[in-house]
């Protein structure tokens, strides 16, 4: 893959995680799009102002087409109908598999950290030289 076709995620590292994070939120309880957007920011899952609401609905629509979530129309307090999203059994399976993968990855990273600390110990701070 050439440089010109690679996707750069440095400025938006959360983009690759949004679908997974939405599944986590919807696994807790059904929510409408605005609630999902608010919770993504409130919980610190995405940086404030970096995630466009239109992008959220595009992702939700794609997830619904993949049948990992479903939606229904409900009346809101203002009387305007809104779409409420719920996770499906396929979505729960996708979420569980993703969590299992992340736990294996975390264990691997913990082992790498242990190796690093063993083989590349941090130098003692200036105040600790007397005790060395």
Residue 115 CA to residue 100 CA, distance in Å, equals 23
Sequence-distant (6+) residues with CB within 8 A of 91 are 23, 26, 27, 63, 67, 68, 69
Distance CA 45, CA 12 (A): 12
Give the pLDDT confidence score for residue 45 in this predicted structure: 84
State residue 127's pLDDT score. 57
For helices 53-65 and 18-28, angle between their N-to-C axes, nearest 10 degrees: 80
**Which is more confidently placed, 98 or 50?**
98
User: Quick one: average pLDDT of 48-75?
Assistant: 88
pLDDT at 2: 46
Percent of the chain with pLDDT over 70: 80
- The pLDDT confidence band at residue 36, using thresholds 50, 70 and 90, is very high
Residue 130: both structure tokens together: 């007397």
- Domains of the chain: which residue ranges? 13-119
Please state which CATH number belongs to domain 13-119: 1.10.10.10
Residue 129 or 35, more confident? 35
Distance between CA atoms of residues 33 and 52, nearest Å: 12
pLDDT-based confidence at 59, cuts 50/70/90?
very high
Query: Could you read off the pLDDT of 43-54 as tens digits, one per residue?
Result: 988 877 766 778
Q: Measure the CA–CA gap between 5 and 89, rounded to whole angstroms.
A: 35
């Amino acid at each position: 893959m050439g440089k010109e076709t690679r996707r750069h995620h440095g400025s938006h590292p959360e983009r690759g995680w949004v679908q997974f994070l939405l599944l986590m939120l919807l696994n807790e309880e059904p929510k409408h799009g605005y609630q999902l957007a608010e919770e993504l920011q409130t919980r610190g899952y995405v940086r404030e102002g970096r995630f466009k609401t239109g992008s959220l609905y595009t992702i939700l629509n794609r997830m619904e087409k993949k049948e990992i979530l479903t939606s229904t129309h409900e009346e809101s307090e203002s009387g305007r109908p809104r779409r409420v999203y719920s996770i499906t059994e396929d979505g729960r399976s996708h979420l569980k598999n993703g969590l299992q993968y992340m736990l294996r990855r975390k264990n691997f990273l913990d082992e790498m950290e242990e190796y690093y600390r063993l083989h590349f110990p941090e130098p003692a701070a200036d105040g600790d030289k007397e005790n060395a």
